[in-house]
């Protein structure tokens, strides 16, 4: 499999963690999101993902999957061990709800293309954009902090899709200096996860395209 990724992309980071947890080998294809106007906009990559975003996972069949949550659930379906979603329907919904706070409510407001639109089209100052960024991280994290009871992972003794989404979002928040002291439970989950080789290997700084 080939993973189209960018070291700092938190959506790609989620998929890297999932591939590592499943022990699945993959070739990493870096897509630089800012150099030369962004390689996600070059025809070679548009042919892979017309949405012009990473991650994209090319399967050995040549078929391509996009959208990190869809990719991760696909991997969980075809390689069920270790499971990233609990067997119990209610527990599964709880895990998905945390994952969706990150992937549907926080991250889309802070994505590069959104920040670029605020800056270049709407002409906001960088300081305003940074405030926007932190605001949405804090809003989402307030809800997540209230939802979890680290044990040591977000929903108990087993890593789940919730942790796979949360850890990259903490990385993102920290990168823009979001104050995180108010979220001790989130930080505890992050610390527990980063002790696992699958998470550590997926960290942005451990990628071949890291700068
Ligand atoms: N919902 C998508 C989000 C994908 C996404 O927005 N990726 C960002 C990087 S984290 C991207 O490629 N942005 C390109 C751009 O902003 O131009 C997913 O979960 O895969």
Structure tokens at 121: 């089209």
Listed in order, strand segments (DSSP E) in 6-53 are: 27-30
Average pLDDT for the chain: 98
CB proximity list for 28: less than 8 A, separation 6 or greater:
2, 3, 5, 207, 208, 209
Mean of pLDDT values over 65-85: 98
Mean of pLDDT values over 43-47: 98
CB 137 within 8 Å of CB 106: yes
Q: How confident is the model at residue 81 (pLDDT cuts 50, 70, 90)?
A: very high
Ligand 1, pocket residues at CB < 6 Å: 9-11, 33, 38, 40, 53-55, 67-69, 103, 111-113
CA of 150 to the centre of ligand 1 (A): 28
CA of 11 to the centre of ligand 1 (A): 6
**By percentage, how much of the chain surpasses pLDDT 70?**
100
Q: What is the pLDDT of residue 83?
A: 98
Mean of pLDDT values over 184-199: 98
pLDDT digits (tens, 9 = 90+) for 161-176: 999 999 999 999 999 9
- For a substitution probing ligand 1, which of 10, 64, 111, 168 has the most ligand atoms within 8 Å of its CB? 111
Of residues 98, 103, 4, 104, the one with CA closest to residue 51: 4
Residues pairing with 65 in the sheet: 57
Q: What is the pLDDT of residue 60?
A: 94
CA of 88 to the centre of ligand 1 (A): 30
The DSSP result for 96-140, as a single string, is HHHHHIIIIIIHHHH-HHHHHIIIIIS---HHHHHHHHHHHHHHH
CA of 181 to the centre of ligand 1 (A): 27
pTM of the model: 0.98
């Amino acid at each position: 499999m080939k993973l189209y990724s960018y070291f700092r992309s938190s959506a790609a980071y989620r998929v890297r963690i999932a591939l590592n947890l499943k022990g699945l080998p993959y070739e990493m294809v870096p897509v630089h999101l800012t150099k030369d106007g962004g390689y996600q906009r070059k025809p070679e990559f548009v042919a892979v993902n017309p949405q012009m975003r990473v991650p994209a996972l090319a399967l050995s069949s040549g078929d391509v999957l996009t959208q990190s949550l869809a990719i991760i659930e696909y991997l969980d379906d075809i390689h069920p061990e270790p499971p990233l979603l609990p067997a119990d329907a209610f527990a599964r919904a709880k895990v998905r709800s945390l994952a969706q706070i990150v992937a549907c409510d926080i991250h889309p407001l802070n994505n590069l293309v959104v920040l670029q639109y605020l800056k270049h089209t709407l002409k906001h100052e960088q300081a305003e954009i940074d405030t926007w960024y932190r605001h949405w991280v804090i809003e989402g994290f307030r809800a997540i902090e209230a939802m979890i009871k680290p044990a040591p992972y977000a929903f108990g003794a087993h890593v789940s899709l919730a942790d796979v989404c949360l850890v990259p979002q903490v990385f993102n928040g920290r990168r823009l200096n979001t104050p995180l002291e108010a979220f001790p439970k989130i930080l505890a989950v992050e610390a527990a996860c980063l002790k696992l080789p699958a998470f550590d290997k997926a960290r942005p700084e451990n990628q071949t395209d890291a700068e």
